[in-house]
Chain A
Amino acid sequence: MLRFILTRVSLIIPTFLGITLLAFFLIRLVPGDPIETLAGERGIDPARLEELRKVYGFDQPILVQYGIYLSRVLQGDLGKSMITQEPVLSEFAALFPATIELATCAIIFALLLGLPAGIIAAIKRNSIFDHGVMGISLAGYSMPIFWWGLILILLFSVQFDLTPVSGRLDVLYYIEPITGFLLIDTLLSDEPEAFWSAVEHLILPTIVLGTVPLAVIARMTRSAMLEVLGEDYIRTAKAKGLSRFRIVALHALRNALIPVVTVIGLQIGVLFTGAILTETIFSWPGVGKWLIDAIFRRDYPVLQGGALLLGVVVMSVNLLVDLAYGLINPRIRHTR
């Protein structure tokens, strides 16, 4: 087990280097100079431009710049945002809970609907329910997130006025950040009705961000379940006289979950990609929107640092999923 963890952790190093390389060079391929962007439409005096370029080190050869950046990262210094002059790390820390809150709700939403839908579709194979679920999930998987988000806003927020259009909380409330998770902070505050405001704001972004994982989980659960239901040990369970519910919910599901957990782990990365789009659509003050804004402003340190930090988060979550895998699959637990 220790060996397994060490192997996995050591794999993080090359991935980490790869992310720094990509984040550093890709943004520099995008036309537009950060300092000119900073100056805006007024333009900037060429002498002042040169001076500022020197301050940020943009006058150095690009490989030297990368070397300096890497050595700073290794010392734990991700730099400061060129726009706000705040350290990247503290900005990330302030915004990340909003993204986590959204991503967690989305994955819970996807699991709560996707698992039962997949299981029932497998049990009632070739029924109308099965075809319906598979058709809808294919549509959900293929749908562009931004389009889906806008449709939902138009329908539920604009047309029926059921949910707020954007943001995390009604402007009427001010909640002191304690954990950063509004669902918790509102309950801790002296304005408990703010909790419902937070929930209302979460509904549409959760659905939008959870749609792709929901589709993937439903399809994966169905196919894993179908495979497991044909196994010899299911026949044994029937021969024991167990109830249908117990056979499906215990004997089959436990085994079907093994591939599903793998897929959920892979979906975590997809989830953060989706969060960037979802947060932009709903003006959700999280890491995704922060990164999009950084691209528009050519805020190099934020982009590099943000990509790196998200990369670390995704890698850690995947490691945790791999460890959880051992919990539900005894064959792996004992061989490693």
Chain B
Amino acid sequence: MALVEIENLSVEFPTQGGIMRAVDGVSLTLEEGEVLGVVGESGSGKSVTMLALMGLIPFPGRVRADKLAFNGRDLLTISDKDRRKLTGKDVAMIFQEPTTSLNPSFTIGFQLTETLRLHEGMDRKAAERRAVELLGQVGIPSPESRLSAYPHQLSGGMNQRVMIAMAIACNPKLLIADEPTTALDVTIQAQILDLLISLQKERNMGLVMITHNMGVVADTAQRVMVMYAGQIMEERSAADLFASPQHPYTAALLAALPERSEGGRLATIPGVVPGLYDRPKGCLFSPRCAYATEHSRSVRPDLRAWAGGHIRCHYPLGDPNRNAEIQHDHPVGTEAAS
């Protein structure tokens, strides 16, 4: 049994201009102890997918799915009370902005022991001892004295360590890290990533690393899911994906990495992510795709099994018949036309 099973998940937000579909038909399974990287541009639905799993979609957002299960428990029909027993204990999440994610009016100690007392039923003394232990584990110097500190007295990196300590307090089976290093200094970023990976190995917990940094994913994840405009574009093992990307979007993302550039100008992806009103009829990436055809602009591809993973593309890069198919379907993209 997989730790996380998501089938055809959609999250919609009604807005004044109509319904905004933030997540569109996402399916995903995650095994125990697996590290999954979720990448995509801002607004690609990567955070919202995980918030839906956590049950944290704010009102008036709507979550729909054929299946949404954690550790065998159906999250679509679970009661609020049972859900609260799960969140913070078996599934925990850390967020992008550590400083605003901690409550400014309470001490680190209070916020850390609160979780322990709630889920583990510890008394104050025991919870404080455990809190000191946890703060030590996440690499906070002189943890005893930090219990009485307020978030504004610590640096962003320290606060993120506190958030991590809070998240792993009850030995979760799954930790979701939502851009855990984006708001931090580059030197601190590496430390926090190392910490997350070592904790993951130590405890064999599932880890979902949401990021828009391909480098982070390459270093940490076993499997990578690339999202675009609320849909999964490609989902494969990290090694395969980086060695031979199958989706033109993935390939374009990788080409835009400074590490991979071969001198000269950095490659970019022209255009912007489709908004609420200009969602294309066909493939969502087709307006920006160099290999778009009239067919791909009018017919939306399904997510299908491909090269040891899944892909949502009519013309995967590794397909030997690709050029013939593109020519047959009337190419309109810049590359395909030439």
Q: Report A's interface with B, CB cutoff 8 A.
A: 231-233, 235-243, 251, 254-255, 258, 328-331, 334
3 interchain residue pairs of minimum CB distance? A241-B88, A240-B88, A232-B100
Contact A241/B118 with A232-B95, A330-B105, A331-B150 known, Cβ cut-off 8 Å: yes
| B103 in contact with A251 (CB, 8 Å) | yes
Q: What B residues does A240 contact at CB under 8 A?
A: 87-88, 114-115, 118, 166
Q: What B residues does A254 contact at CB under 8 A?
A: 103, 105-106
| A329 in contact with B92 (CB, 8 Å) | no
Q: What A residues does B86 contact at CB under 8 A?
A: 241
| A239 in contact with B103 (CB, 8 Å) | no
Chain B CB within 10 Å, residue with most, of A232, A254, A328, A334: A232
Q: What A residues does B150 contact at CB under 8 A?
A: 330-331, 334
C-alpha spacing A240/B119, complex, angstroms: 9
Interface: B332 (CB within 8 A)? no
Q: Mark B74-104, 1 if CB is under 8 A from A, else 0.
A: 0000000001111111001101010011111
Q: What A residues does B56 contact at CB under 8 A?
A: 235, 238-239
| B87 in contact with A239 (CB, 8 Å) | yes
| A231 in contact with B85 (CB, 8 Å) | no
Which residue from B85, B89, B103 sits with its C-beta under 8 Å from A237?
B103
Q: What B residues does A243 contact at CB under 8 A?
A: 84
Q: Which residue of B lies closest to A242 (CB)?
A: B118
C-alpha spacing A177/B128, complex, angstroms: 52
Q: What A residues does B163 contact at CB under 8 A?
A: 236
Q: Give 14 A-B pairs besides A236-B166, A241-B115 with Cβ atoms closer than 8 angstroms.
A: A232-B95, A235-B101, A238-B87, A239-B54, A240-B115, A241-B83, A241-B84, A241-B88, A241-B118, A242-B84, A254-B106, A255-B105, A258-B105, A330-B150
Cβ of A283 to closest chain B Cβ, rounded Å: 45
Q: What A residues does B87 contact at CB under 8 A?
A: 238-241
Query: What's the dominant secondary structure at chain A's contact region?
Result: helix
C-alpha spacing A295/B114, complex, angstroms: 59
| A236 in contact with B103 (CB, 8 Å) | yes
A/B interface sample: 7 pairs, CB < 8 A? A241-B84, A241-B89, A241-B118, A251-B103, A254-B105, A334-B150, A334-B152
Range, interface on chain B = 20 to 34
| A239 in contact with B92 (CB, 8 Å) | yes
Interface: B153 (CB within 8 A)? yes
C-alpha spacing A329/B152, complex, angstroms: 11
For window 256-302 of chain B, which residues contact chain A by CB distance below 8 Å?
Answer: none
Q: Which residue of B lies closest to A329 (CB)?
A: B105
Q: What B residues does A231 contact at CB under 8 A?
A: 100
C-alpha spacing A251/B153, complex, angstroms: 19
C-alpha spacing A233/B102, complex, angstroms: 5
Contact A331/B104 with A239-B54, A240-B166 known, Cβ cut-off 8 Å: yes
Cβ of B241 to closest chain A Cβ, rounded Å: 29
Which residue from A232, A329, A334 sits with its C-beta under 8 Å from B97?
A232
Which residue from B54, B104, B106, B114 sits with its C-beta under 8 Å from A242?
B114
Q: What A residues does B104 contact at CB under 8 A?
A: 233, 255, 330-331
C-alpha spacing A330/B163, complex, angstroms: 19
Q: What A residues does B103 contact at CB under 8 A?
A: 233, 236-237, 251, 254-255
Cβ of A163 to closest chain B Cβ, rounded Å: 41
C-alpha spacing A135/B86, complex, angstroms: 40
Contact A241/B100 with A236-B95, A328-B105 known, Cβ cut-off 8 Å: no
C-alpha spacing A228/B83, complex, angstroms: 23
Cβ of B55 to closest chain A Cβ, rounded Å: 8
C-alpha spacing A251/B115, complex, angstroms: 13
Q: Mark B190-219, 1 if CB is under 8 A from A, else 0.
A: 000000000000000000000000000000
Chain B CB within 10 Å, residue with most, of A231, A241, A243, A328: A241
Q: Mark B35-68, 1 if CB is under 8 A from A, else 0.
A: 0000000000000000000101000000000000
Q: What A residues does B54 contact at CB under 8 A?
A: 239
C-alpha spacing A331/B102, complex, angstroms: 13
Cβ of A164 to closest chain B Cβ, rounded Å: 44
Cβ of A257 to closest chain B Cβ, rounded Å: 9
Cβ of A295 to closest chain B Cβ, rounded Å: 45
Cβ of A266 to closest chain B Cβ, rounded Å: 21
Q: What B residues does A232 contact at CB under 8 A?
A: 95, 97, 100-101
Q: What A residues does B153 contact at CB under 8 A?
A: 334
C-alpha spacing A331/B163, complex, angstroms: 19
Contact A239/B93 with A331-B150, A331-B152 known, Cβ cut-off 8 Å: yes
